[in-house]
Structure 1
Amino acid sequence: MTRQTPLVSIVIPLYNKADFILRTVASAASQLDVAFEIIVVDDGSTDDGAKLVHNAGLEGLFLIAQENAGVSAARNRGMTAARGKWIAFLDADDVWSCEHLATLLKAIDGSDAIAAFSNVRLQSRASCPLIDPRLVAQRVEDYFSFALRSGGYPISSSSIIALKDKLVAAGLFVEGISTGEDIDMWCRLACQGAFFYTAKLTATYNDARSHTRCSASGTVVRPFSAQRLHDLIASDELDPRLAESGRRYANFLMLEYARQLLDSGQYADARAVLLGECVPRYDPKRFLKRLIRTTSFGQTLFGLGQTHARQA
């Protein structure tokens, strides 16, 4: 008998998350009013996570094994196997409410939006969601402006659903990098069409994992997505109406890179980034604050501020 084609393929990349994966899979399997399949791609785990998924025996759940190649390769492998029109990503230690997929699909029903995303509850701070709750549900024609208004990183990999053919057209996730692959993907996907933001808290992000964009060795990673965004602007792939907001967002990414260098004590490198690769007029307050931090006076001033904050 031919299996029914699902509307949504849920792609879960798995690497050494045995302590979380069953809870995550259960939240995926609990989705209401949506025809879906669950594809777990085991990226060479060395724990029992894949075995737990296999033994779960859930209908519509498929386990794919591959040698360790990184989260991008795992997501891409899952998308290649996906039969659904829509792809929803769920990290192996995050969870959804049972109406997550239905809420996203309802928001874009009858529209030409190519993706939808929800607000995200931070596991450590349930009262402090990823996006300011005062920001209402809306169609997002200019993702870069929206991102700048909402903290810079409004989409979690576990909060978005997108058309499979648009993800393919955008070029899938870049493989072989350790961080920032998601930011780059959303920027390229935004060139394919409009998104919709639902504002509802239907996903929970396990923010216990590190937020610092560092390599496995602890080195601060240069945001390759900023240069790729500049390349997009210079090409024919980006709507000219998004060029200015795209430049502002690329500038934000470089300012964030400078901040991370400062936080790791690399003051000379941070100063070089600020003076050589950032545009002060796009974000003068953030630029000046970080430039001051590169000076001995600034290091003393901000160091004292952090000491007082810890003592308060």
Structure 2
Amino acid sequence: MKNKHSALVSIIIPVYNSENYIVDTIHSCLNQSHKNIEIIVVNDGSTDSSEKKILEIQSQKIKYHKVENNGPCAARNFGIQQAKGDLVQFLDHDDILHPDKLERQLERYAEFGDLYIYSAKMGTANAQTLTIDPDYELYQNDFTIERYFETVLNQFGKYITTGAWLVPAELIKLTHGWDENAGLNDDGEYFARLILNSKGIIYCDNAVFYFRRNVPNSLSKRFDSKDVYEKWLHSYILYAKHFHEKLDPTTAKELSWKALSRYYCASYPNYPDLLEKCKQLINELGYKHPYAHGGSKFYTTSKVVGVYNALKIWNLKNTAKRTLNKLLR
């Protein structure tokens, strides 16, 4: 472990058709108060003007690479191979780091060292506006491994995303690379492995990461094919596998149930064969039905009529709402 001043941070940015955002993203890295950084930009076969805009930025800190389009996970894995840093900051091509983000996390790193993973406060980037997200206070704590997964799997709609973390290279080495078959949940699956290989999570107050929401054609918004849902389920099956490898059997069983239930409830009623596969896995864990993963109203309804009936009711309600919206257009 190096001290906070001498530690080199490798910032890995996979880029695909990000001409509208990549300049701001890179400048948020160059403007870090912690100056000992390398910015590994991996152009994943972009077809727009991303490359031109990246090359126009003059800085020796930028290490530019262009590869064939194989997706962000493959690009991140390529970036890991190039990285020389003591710690790694993964950053998506449209997100923003607060100028003091790395410095604040390195202060905690100097205290706790290479076997912890470091989190930050979540914010949102919209146009030229940067705001702190409300309702993320539940993550503004240090966590043991078990308590973190209990927290994230017991709530709905609020998750720490890729760029909020700062990861010591020692933990990267203990965790094989990003899984290209994890699809929409590739970051959740990867960081689950990192966390399970760590001694816990250290929260860094005043370290802020800004996630850009509502980006057109964002991977996180694509629910347009069975392949997407298959990869999504695959990621939660891996959660269960990792839990059973690293945690005590009772904890692993409950967390696996809740992870698989997240897929079941969130993907219902799409692709009944995948839902049936998920249901069987839940049954094999010893549970008769999924955990009620949804908002407070869905949870309350499930307590009264059961999870399966609540899902049917919610689906009918959502279908009616979509039909009405079409009629009113």
How much does 1:37 deviate?
1.0
**How far, CA to CA, are the matches of 1:83 and 1:267 in structure 2?**
43
Equivalent residue for 2:223, pick from 204, 214, 217: 214
Q: Where does residue 19 of structure 1 map in the other structure?
A: 20
Normalised by the size of structure 2, how large is the TM-score?
0.77
Pairs within 5 Å for 1:76-115: 76-112=77-113, 113-115=115-117
**How far, CA to CA, are the matches of 1:197 and 1:256 in structure 2?**
25
**How far, CA to CA, are the matches of 1:59 and 1:167 in structure 2?**
25
**How far, CA to CA, are the matches of 1:90 and 1:184 in structure 2?**
16
Pairs within 5 Å for 1:130-279: 132-133=136-137, 135-142=139-146, 143-149=148-154, 151=156, 154-193=159-198, 194-200=200-206, 202-209=208-215, 210=218, 211-212=220-221, 214=223, 219-221=228-230, 222-235=232-245, 238-240=246-248, 243-262=249-268, 265-266=269-270, 268-269=272-273, 272=276, 275-278=279-282, 279=287
Question: In the TM superposition, what whole-angstrom CA distance separates every residue of 1:93-118 from its partner, at most 9, and x where no partner exists?
Answer: 00011001011111232214421111
Would you say the 8 A contact 1:12–1:38 is kept in 2?
yes
How much does 1:60 deviate?
1.0
Q: Where does residue 66 of structure 1 map in the other structure?
A: 67
Quick one: percent identity of the two aligned structures? Answer: 19
How much does 1:282 deviate?
7.5
SS at match of 1:223: helix
User: Is 1:292 aligned to 2:309, yes or no?
Assistant: yes
SS at match of 2:197: coil
How much does 1:186 deviate?
1.0
**How far, CA to CA, are the matches of 2:156 and 2:132 in structure 1?**
13
The AA in structure 1 aligned to 2:124 is: L
**How far, CA to CA, are the matches of 1:61 and 1:239 in structure 2?**
40
- Unmatched 5+ stretches in structure 1: none
Normalised by the size of structure 1, how large is the TM-score?
0.81
RMSD over equivalenced CA pairs, Å: 3.4
**How far, CA to CA, are the matches of 1:213 and 1:253 in structure 2?**
20
- Which one has the bigger helix percentage? 2
How much does 1:284 deviate?
4.8
Q: Where does residue 36 of structure 1 map in the other structure?
A: 37
SS at match of 1:188: helix
SS at match of 2:40: strand
Q: Where does residue 129 of structure 1 map in the other structure?
A: 133
Q: 150-159 vs 221-230, which deviates more?
A: 150-159
- Unmatched 5+ stretches in structure 2: 1-5
How much does 1:275 deviate?
4.3
How much does 1:6 deviate?
5.6
How much does 1:201 deviate?
6.0
